[in-house]
Amino acid sequence: MTISAAGVTTDPDAALTMLSGRRLVVLTGAGLSTDSGIPDYRGPGSRPRNPMTYSEFVSGGPAQRRYWARSHVGWARMRRAAPNPGHRSLAALEAAGVVDGLITQNVDGLHGAAGHRTVVDLHGRIDEVVCLDCRRVTPRDELQDRLTALNPGFTEAHSAEVETAPDGDAAVEITDGFRVAPCAGCGGVLKPHVVFFGENVPRDRVARCYAMVGSLTPDDDALLVAGSSLSVMSGLRFVRAARRDGVPVVIVNRGVTRGDELADLRVDAGCSEVLGALAARPV
């Protein structure tokens, strides 16, 4: 199959026709989780966001207090998010043997909650916390309880007025006086177990993703991108790898993406709609 500049359509049937009978590796982004009530970064209508960078976070106490105060409010909402039809459709396609592997840029853990088994969380998981000193990993819910005890009433005072980002960051403006909890094991600095901007994705994780994409063949397989603008290289590189190998690439995303010229087709439609239609087709 010859790969050319992507055609753009609003018709989900175009993707179904191109992907029919092919084994898939899927790359997902924040646009997949919008139907779960988690806003994305760059979709139509999204307001500009400035996530905290790694260098800012490790700069000291004020930045860490700001991050954890905002995350404390955001997590109270994000922990209630549930998988939507898009997540469930991908899990069904995996169970049917159509999806052979999934790479997600999301940190919300909703693929696993939907029952998907083979998932690489490229940017980590927001429901985990890591100590930067002893590297101990603990559940985010445990930290939430500790922060609530240290800051009674903080969430209730702010949750009604703010918007939450895909990484759980809530737009709380006043964070002075918020008390941050240290690592319960060694007293070190706690960080969400996610890859911040300016931080590298672990090499072994990247290698697993390249192996998934590298297993695809031009005649029998395809790479499906769902809900990602591919604005950051951490995801775009796998589209480039598929393109180099001649593997068909289909993108489902509302709005243009950085990978449009690398793909065979982009369907400008919602992920739940397109993935639901794909899962409903006979294998």
Q: How confident is the model at residue 167, as a pLDDT?
A: 54
**Which residue type sits at 206?**
V
CA distance 106 to 36: 12
Are the CB atoms for 19 and 89 separated by under 8 Å? no
| pLDDT bucket at 3, cuts 50 / 70 / 90 | very low
More confident residue, 40 or 194: 194
In 3-state terms the chain splits into helix, strand, coil percentages (rounded to 5) of 40, 20, 45
Are the CB atoms for 119 and 111 separated by under 8 Å? yes
Share of residues in the chain with pLDDT > 90 (%): 77
**Which residue type sits at 43?**
G
Residue 212 scores a pLDDT above 70: yes
Q: Which residues are catalytic?
A: 123
Q: How far, in whole angstroms, is CA 231 from its chain's centroid?
A: 13
Q: Is 209 annotated as a binding residue?
A: no
**Which residue type sits at 106?**
N
More confident residue, 162 or 124: 124
| pLDDT bucket at 168, cuts 50 / 70 / 90 | low
Q: Is 83 annotated as a binding residue?
A: no
Q: Is 39 annotated as a binding residue?
A: yes
3-state secondary structure of 154: helix
Q: What is the mean pLDDT of residues 40-57?
A: 70
Q: Is 32 annotated as a binding residue?
A: yes
> What's the mean pLDDT when you consider all of the chain?
90
Residue 9 has φ and ψ, to the nearest 5°, of -145, 160
Cβ count near 5 (within 10 Å): 10
3-state secondary structure of 50: coil
Are the CB atoms for 225 and 86 separated by under 8 Å? no
Q: How confident is the model at residue 139, as a pLDDT?
A: 97
- Cα-based torsion angle of the residue sequence 263, 89, 201, 142 in order, rounded to the nearest 10 degrees: 160
Tell me, what DSSP letter sits at residue 283?
-
Structure tokens at 227: 């809900």
Of the candidates 33, 19, 25, the residue with the CA atom closest to the CA atom of residue 208? 25
Are the CB atoms for 139 and 127 separated by under 8 Å? yes
Of the candidates 279, 251, 227, 250, the residue with the CA atom closest to the CA atom of residue 85? 279
For the whole model, what pTM was predicted? 0.89
Of the candidates 256, 259, 272, the residue with the CA atom closest to the CA atom of residue 44? 256
Cβ count near 118 (within 10 Å): 14
Domains detected in the chain: 1-38+83-123+202-283 (3.40.50.1220), 46-80+125-194 (3.30.1600)
pLDDT digits (tens, 9 = 90+) for 110-138: 999 999 999 999 999 999 999 999 999 99
